């Protein structure tokens, strides 16, 4: 894929500081990062390096203490929560390590939830849910609650939910962290397929073997990118 001239995600001198009593904790220290449309980028680092903080900021779940975050060339650094929620719903799909499914909803209901928030019609929701359930091979489990599904099946539901609104960007936070190696391989195959179909994927991981499936690896340490790998 031809690299676009403008990054779809751009972080410029981004700091995130938490006040812990009288102590300031700098989770990010002037982070600079660019991700172009259609790229598959892995962000690697040890526990405490700032990976999850960076993911939350890219994903419009939080705002920086200082610095600029741009998504689709729009400055989202200090938007209101309602504005960020709209951008999240339309542009970004999340795949979490702990799945983050709603236990009282069925697999199908979890998948269509983002569509309800984005005011899709019932007919549209049904059509999209059917297509996604087929894609992740869970048509026969669509009415099962999360506690009736295996870990791998729950992660596949989470992938389908992430794709429901057809977002440009997929953020995957340790997507195989709670899975056995065989099931994890299947999840990675899904991510590689999505990338081939043109999705931009940013994956956070501490697993070097997992990171190798990405086109580019950014090494994060103490809240800063210290190394690039291709």
pLDDT in tens, 157-199: 999 999 999 999 999 998 888 888 888 888 888 899 999 999 9
Q: Tell me which residue of 217, 190, 189, 193 sits closest to 203, measured CA to CA.
A: 217
Asked if 95 contacts 175 with a C-beta cutoff of 8 angstroms, the reply is yes
Number of domains in the chain: 1
Q: Tell me which residue of 162, 207, 165, 168 sits closest to 185, measured CA to CA.
A: 207
The first and second tokens of residue 93, run together, are 């799909």
pLDDT in tens, 25-81: 999 999 999 999 999 999 999 888 999 899 999 998 889 999 999 998 889 998 888
pLDDT in tens, 108-158: 999 999 999 888 999 999 999 999 999 999 999 999 999 999 999 999 999
Scanning the structure block, which residue is given the tokens 């400055």? Answer: 75
Gap between the Cα atoms of 115 and 24, Å rounded: 39
Domain annotation covers residue 97: yes
What's CA 52's distance to the chain center, in Å? 10
Domain annotation covers residue 90: yes
Task: Tell me: pLDDT of 4 over 80.
Answer: no
Task: Quickly list H helices, the chain.
Answer: 51-58, 81-91, 107-117, 122-135, 151-163, 181-196, 208-211
Task: Give the model's confidence band at 96: pLDDT under 50 very low, under 70 low, under 90 confident, else very high.
Answer: confident
Domain annotation covers residue 68: no
Task: Give the model's confidence band at 83: pLDDT under 50 very low, under 70 low, under 90 confident, else very high.
Answer: confident
Q: Tell me which residue of 76, 77, 75 sits closest to 66, measured CA to CA.
A: 77
**Domain range for 144:** 40-56+80-229
Domain annotation covers residue 153: yes
Domain annotation covers residue 100: yes
Question: What's the chain's length in residues?
Answer: 230
- Report the CATH number at residue 179: 3.40.50.300
Task: Give the model's confidence band at 1: pLDDT under 50 very low, under 70 low, under 90 confident, else very high.
Answer: very low
Domain annotation covers residue 188: yes
């Amino acid at each position: 894929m031809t690299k676009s001239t403008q990054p779809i995600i751009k972080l410029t001198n981004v700091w995130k500081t938490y006040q812990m009593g009288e102590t300031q904790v700098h989770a990010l220290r002037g982070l600079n990062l660019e991700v172009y449309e259609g790229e598959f980028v892995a962000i690697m680092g040890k526990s405490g390096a700032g990976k999850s903080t960076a993911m939350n900021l890219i994903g419009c779940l939080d705002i920086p203490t200082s610095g600029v975050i741009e998504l689709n060339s729009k400055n989202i650094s200090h938007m209101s929560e309602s504005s960020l929620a709209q951008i999240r719903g339309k542009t970004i799909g999340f795949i979490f390590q702990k799945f983050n499914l709603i236990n009282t909803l069925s697999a199908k209901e979890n998948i269509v939830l983002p569509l309800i928030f984005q005011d899709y019609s019932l007919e549209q929701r049904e059509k999209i849910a059917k297509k996604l359930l087929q894609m992740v091979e869970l048509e026969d489990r669509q009415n099962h609650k999360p506690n009736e599904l295996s870990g791998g099946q729950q992660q596949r539901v989470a992938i389908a939910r992430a794709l429901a609104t057809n977002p440009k960007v997929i953020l995957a936070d340790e997507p195989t962290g709670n899975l056995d190696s065989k099931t994890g391989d299947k999840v990675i195959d899904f991510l590689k397929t999505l990338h081939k179909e043109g999705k931009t994927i940013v994956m956070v991981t501490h697993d070097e073997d997992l990171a190798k499936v990405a086109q580019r690896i950014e090494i994060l340490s103490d809240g800063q990118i210290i190394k690039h790998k291709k």
